[in-house]
Amino acid sequence: MKNKVILIAGKKRAGKDYAGEIIKQFMPGIKCVRFADTIKEIISSTFGISLEDLEEYKNNTDQYGLEIKAYSNNQPEATIKYINFREILQKFGTEGMKPIFGDDIWVEACYNKIKDSEYSIITDFRFLSEYKSLLEKGFEIYTIKIFNDNLESDDSHSSENDLENNNFVYDFYIDNTNKPDITEDIKDILNSIFED
């Protein structure tokens, strides 16, 4: 029997991890990971910050970031570059690593965590190449798109737009707009996936 993987997609802050937590309530033994887990571990270690702090910095881009400053010829310091932690994660994971190690670098890292699990959830499905790589590895895949019409995003990074640009069609959709609880939506989806 093929190992089953549930891939959860959606714009940033749409409720992907929230959906994963609900699935874990119904299936306590299910393995829950993210493609970006390894990216975050590397960035956390590189900058000497905890994973918890990195999550805080990533989700509050208007409050936290990094500045590169110039101190030339005893002149007052000048900021020559500002970048927030979400951009650092995006650029490192996509523009930094994929051209060198291939589009499936983060799938490979994730695969080692889920290959022996009968059921898994990946809560940050963002690229068509991830779907194709997991299919090639023999997983039975179910996809969920979570959307929230209250979210405004001007993020043009490919990690936010690749699936849309490729007209990806999901198996299930959850509207998380003004919804305090999507438990019943998740329950219906799980019943559909795992019905005998």
| 101 assigned to some structural domain | yes
Q: Are 20 and 37 in contact (CB under 8 A)?
A: no
pLDDT tens-digit readout, 120-150: 999 999 999 999 999 999 999 999 999 888 7
pLDDT tens-digit readout, 82-115: 889 999 999 999 999 999 999 999 999 999 899 9
Share of the chain above pLDDT 70, in %: 97
The predicted pLDDT at position 123 comes to 94
| 81 assigned to some structural domain | no
For residue 41, give the CATH number of its domain. Answer: 3.40.50.300
| 64 assigned to some structural domain | no
Report the predicted TM-score, pTM, of the whole model to 2 decimal places: 0.85
φ, ψ of residue 69 to 5 degrees: the values are -115, 150
Q: Are 41 and 128 in contact (CB under 8 A)?
A: no
Which H or E run contains 120?
Answer: strand 119-122
- CA nearest to 186, candidates 114, 115, 118, 121: 121
CB neighbours (10 Å) of residue 74? 5
Q: Is the pLDDT of residue 67 over 90?
A: no
| 186 assigned to some structural domain | yes
The predicted pLDDT at position 152 comes to 67
Computed over every residue of the chain, the mean pLDDT equals: 89
φ, ψ of residue 90 to 5 degrees: the values are -60, -50
- Considering its fold, how many domains does the chain have in total? 1
